[in-house]
Chains A and B, each alone.
Chain A
C-alpha cells in the first residue's frame, strides 16, 4: 500500500527512479566493452542504477517523517531570488567583462540586496572588496582570472 509520504519525498523518489533508469541505460551502453561479466566500467552504473530505482520505489511505500516546509516571507524570498539572479548574471558577466569589472558591479548589487545598504555605501563596500581581492589574488597570488572582451 502507498504510504502518505510528503509530496516532496515522492518527487524525490520519482527523480531517483529516473536517474536509476539513466544509469542502467548507460551500463547497457558500456556492457559490450566489458572485461568480464562484472568487471568493467558498466558494473557500478548498473548496480547504482538498480539501487536508485529500488530506493526510489521505497520512498513511495516506506513511511517517512512529516514536517512543514517553511519558506521565508515574500520580501526575503524576493531577495533570495534576486541574489540567485545576480549570481547567474555574475557568471555571464565574468565571460564578457572579465573578473575585475564584473566583481565590482555584482558585489555592489549584492551589498545592496543582502545588506539593504544605500547606493553610496554599497559602492564603497564593493570598491573596497574588489581592491582587496585584486591585491590578494591577482597581484600577490598571481591567479589568472578571465579578462573578458576589454582585456582587464
Chain B
C-alpha cells in the first residue's frame, strides 16, 4: 500500500508542466532517433545525456527514460517498414513485420507494435512499482561484503554483453576498470596520472560513452550504404478487431516472458524477443504462417522487448545493476546528478524515484497516443540523408562532451575514444563491458577495500556472511543460465539472419 501512495504522490509531481514536457520531448526525440538509420537507444542516450544535465535531476532522468523507450519503439518502425533491425532484438520483428509491410499492412503491424509496446511497458512499470521497493528493502541490510557480492553479480552481465568472445569481453572490462582508476583512489591518493595534472580528476565517463557510442556510430555509418529506401503504402495504422483479438494473448505472453527475463541481470532484450517469438510460434495453431506475415509474430517480440526494457529498471533502481547498454548509460546519468542507484536510492531520494516511475506510465501513454497518428511522419523521417544527420551528431558530440565539465580535454577524450571505438568495432572487441566496468569498478573497489578493512584482511568475510554467500552463488547460477541463453539466441539469430551476428546488448 505504501508503494501505491508513493506512486500517487509521484503522479502529482510528474503532472507538473515541466515534467510532462520532459517526458513528451524524451518520447518524441527517442522515437525520432530510434528511427534514424544506425542510431539505437544506446547512442541516442549517449548523445543526449550531457544535454539533459542543464535540466534538474528529475526532469533529466524523465527525459532520458523517455528517450530510452521511445528509441526502443522507433527501432521497430525501421524493422517493419524497411526490414532494417536497428538492434538484434528487433530481428524477430522483421521476420513477420516486413512481410506484412510488403502486403500493404505495414500500418497495422506498426499499430500492433505500438499497442504491444504500450501494454508491455505498463506491465513492466507495474512490476517495477511492486518489486523494486521490496528488493531495495532487502538490500538495505547490505554491508560492504554484500555490496561486493552484488557488484560481482552485476559483472556477470559482461558475459552477455561480450559478443562472440568472452575473453575479449573480460579484457575490455578490465581495461574499463583500469581507466576508472585514473585519478583519486578511495583512500585519497592520486593514481595513474603520470605527473599530468589534468589526469588527476580522472576521465569523464560521459566523454568515453559519447566517443565509443556516438562518434563511432557516425564513422560506422559512413561505411554503410546510405541510399534512401522508398517506403510503400503502409495502410491504416489502426489495427482491426481481428488483429487485436489474434494479438492479445501474444502481447500478454510476450510481456510476461520479457518481464521475467528482464529481471535477470545478463539477459539482453535480444534473448527475450527471440524466446517470445519462438514461444508464440510453438503455441500457434498455424505456425506455418510465421515468417509470412503473422501479426502475432510482431506482437510477441515487441511486447517482450518493451517489458524487458521496463523490467530492467528494477535491478537498476533497487540494486544499481544495469542489465543492458542503454541502462548502463542511464546509470551514468543518475551518477552525474549525484544519485547513487541501489537500495538507498528509494530511501534517500524516494520522491525522485516515484516521480520517474509515474512519468514512465505517462510516457508510455504519450508514446501510444502520439505514435499511432504520427506513424506516417515518422516513416518519412527515416528518409533524412546520412549526410545531414552525421555532421549534426558530430557537432552535438563535441557540445555534449564539453558541457559536462566545461573542459576541452573531455572533448579530446571523446574524440580519441570515438576512433578507438571504430577500431574496436572492426576487430570485434566489445565496448559495453568497458563502459560497465568503468561505471561499476569504483563501487566494486570501495566495497572490496571496506570489507577487507572490516575483516582485517581476511577474504573469508565474503563467504561467511549468508547474504553475501547467497549472492555469490546466485552470480554463479546466473552466469551459467546466461551462457545457455546466449548460446541459444546466437543460434536462432544466425538462422534468422543467415550469418553470425553479435547479440551483445
Contacts and interface: CB of A to CB of B under 8 A. Distances in A.
Interface of A: 6, 8-9, 12-13, 16, 19, 22-23, 26, 30, 33, 35-41, 43-45, 48, 51-52, 55-56, 58-59, 62, 64-65, 67, 69, 71-72, 76, 79-80, 83-84, 87-88, 90-91, 94-95, 103, 106-107, 110-111, 114-117, 125, 129, 133, 137, 141, 143-146
Contacts of A45: 181, 191-192
Given A91-B415, A114-B387, A16 B171 contact: yes
Nearest to B219: A80
9 contacts: A9-B427, A35-B453, A44-B185, A45-B181, A52-B175, A55-B171, A91-B411, A114-B222, A133-B399
Interface in B152-208: 164-165, 167-168, 170-171, 174-175, 177-178, 181, 185-189, 191-192
A49 to B, nearest CB: 8
A79 B386 CA distance: 14
A149 to B, nearest CB: 15
Contacts of B189: 30, 33, 41
A52 B181 CA distance: 14
Given A39-B449, A115-B388, A9 B186 contact: no
Contacts of B56: none
A58 B167 contact: yes
Interface of B: 54, 164-165, 167-168, 170-171, 174-175, 177-178, 181, 185-189, 191-192, 215, 218-219, 222-223, 385-388, 390-392, 394-395, 398-399, 402-403, 406, 408, 411-412, 415, 418-419, 422, 426-429, 441, 445, 448-449, 452-453, 456-457
Contacts of A37: 457
Contacts of A40: 187, 449
Contact of A117 (B175, B387, B427, B448): B387
B167 A41 contact: no
Q: Classify the secondary structure of A's interface with B.
A: helix
A20 B408 CA distance: 29
B347 to A, nearest CB: 28
